[in-house]
Amino acid sequence: MNVLRRSILLGLALALAGCVAGPNVRGKPVPTAFFVFFEKDSEEPNADAKAVFDEAAAYLTQYDNTAVRVVGHISPDEKATDLDQRRASRVAEELASRGAQPARMQLLGMGHNESVSSDPAVGDPAADRRVELLFSTM
C-alpha cells in the first residue's frame, strides 16, 4: 500500500473514530473505535489487522463491562451483498479466538449505506472495505 493511500486511510480512521476518547472504565478511557480493512471482494483481513485484533480482544477480556459493535461495510464496487456480514463474522471470530466473549459482541452488516469513498477528501473505495469495532460500556 503506498504512502498516500495509507495516509488517506489513517485520516479516515481518525475522523471516523473521533480518536480514542470515551467514558472511563476503572480509570482508563474506553476506545471508541478500531478499524480493520480488507481487499476488494475478500473477507480476509489485511496484514495490519493482527495488531487491531490483539488490542481489541485484550481490552474486551480485561474490562468485563465493555461491549463492542462489529460493523461490516462494503465498497460500492463490490457485488456480494452478504460480504459485509461475512467480514463482521470473520472479525468476531478473531476476537473470540483471542478470548473475547461472543455474548458481548453485536454483529451488523451495513452494506455500502455508509460509504465514505464518495467524499472527495477520501475518494478511495478501499476506505469502504472495512469493519468498525465500536466500543461502549454496558
Give pLDDT tens digits for 6-53: 444 445 444 444 334 455 555 666 567 899 999 999 999 999 999 999
Cα end-to-end distance, the chain, whole Å: 37
Q: Which grid cell is 61?
A: 477480556
pLDDT in tens, 70-83: 999 999 889 888 99
Separation between Cα atoms, residue 32 and residue 6, nearest integer Å: 21
Residue that has been written with the C-alpha cell 478499524 in this structure: 35
pLDDT in tens, 98-116: 999 999 999 999 998 888 8
Nearest residue to 38 (alpha-carbon basis) of 79, 8, 69, 83: 83
Task: Report pTM.
Answer: 0.77
| Domain 3-137 classification at class level | alpha beta
SS3 129: coil
So where are the chain's domains?
3-137
> Do the strands 105-109 and 66-72 form a parallel or antiparallel pair, or are they unpaired?
parallel
CB 78 within 8 A of CB 41: yes
Separation between Cα atoms, residue 123 and residue 40, nearest integer Å: 15
Nearest residue to 73 (alpha-carbon basis) of 31, 22, 107: 107
